[in-house]
Amino acid sequence: MKILYAGPEERGRYLQEHASPGVTVQARAPQSGPSTIESMVDEYEHIPGVIDVVKWGEANGYDAVLTSCFGDPGIDAMRELVKIPVLAPAETSMHVAAMIGHSFSIVTVLDNVVRPLKKLAKLYGVESKLASIRVLGVSVMMIRTEKDRVYPKAVEACRRCIEEDGADAIVMGCGSMSFYAKEIGEEVGVPVVNPLLVSLRAAEMLVGSGLTHSKRAYPVPPKIGGYPVAFEAAGGAR
């Protein structure tokens, strides 16, 4: 089984270290877009480069693709363009968290990503299980480079999610926070979901089960050979 990670090489190596026997994980970073994603503008600028990676992955024999941004930008478009499974970290993590507790919270970076994450929870059908979203007030780059400063903030936010918001599980709401998950879980005493690892395991499960996304849900776009449209059958044009 070959899985492609649409992100940086160091995360690809981490995923390979945690992959099941017989699974190869390789990384291919998008060639365009921002270096970190902290706003909707960043998300939209990120999409074209990831679409290129996803299409490249299918063309080069990969069995599934994992996207990297916790905002899941462009995931619906990517699933329209390919037949292989494309796994998004927020969608996968929220569904896993909803399975392992009656409620869950998300701990993420900045206030301006709270609204988009609430919208995703509603879209994914888990809004009723979302206890809270708490922010650390730090940048993605700080999470990557200043763990000594950021980690205590993350632990405190998780404790408040549990004690004040009633969360049974926590989701690390940023790809760069994935590496904190195991350690924080041991400190706070509830499951802490690592978006990188659950995306990998979900991809292994889908490929191993012979499943991918439904083309009724994500049909091939008409302009690249999808279903015929009515005006063409009638001889018209637009």
List phi, psi (to 5°) of 130: -80, 105
pLDDT tens digits for 58-90? 999 999 999 999 999 999 999 999 999 999 999
140 and 176, same domain (yes or no): yes
In a domain, 208, yes or no: yes
154 and 202, same domain (yes or no): no
Q: How far is CA 52 from CA 2, 29, 32, 47, 49, in A?
A: 18, 10, 10, 9, 5
The pTM for the full model equals 0.90
Contact present, 4 and 24 (Cβ < 8 Å): no
In a domain, 71, yes or no: yes
In a domain, 235, yes or no: no
78 and 148, same domain (yes or no): no
Virtual CA dihedral for 65, 41, 134, 171, nearest 10 degrees?
Answer: 0
Helix residue ranges, H only, 181-228? 181-188, 195-208
103 and 184, same domain (yes or no): yes
Pairing mode, strands 104-108 and 169-172 = parallel
In a domain, 40, yes or no: yes
Q: What is the CATH number of the domain that holds 7?
A: 3.40.50.12500
Contact present, 28 and 53 (Cβ < 8 Å): yes
Structure confidence at residue 228 (pLDDT) = 56
Could you say which residues of the chain have pLDDT below 50?
229-238
6 and 83, same domain (yes or no): yes
39 and 120, same domain (yes or no): no
Number of separate domains in the chain: 2
pLDDT tens digits for 128-160? 999 999 999 988 888 888 888 999 999 999 999
Domain with 214 in it: 2-88+197-221
170 and 188, same domain (yes or no): yes
In a domain, 213, yes or no: yes
**Helices 195-208 & 9-18, crossing angle to 10 degrees?**
60
SS3 state of residue 59: helix
Contact present, 4 and 64 (Cβ < 8 Å): yes
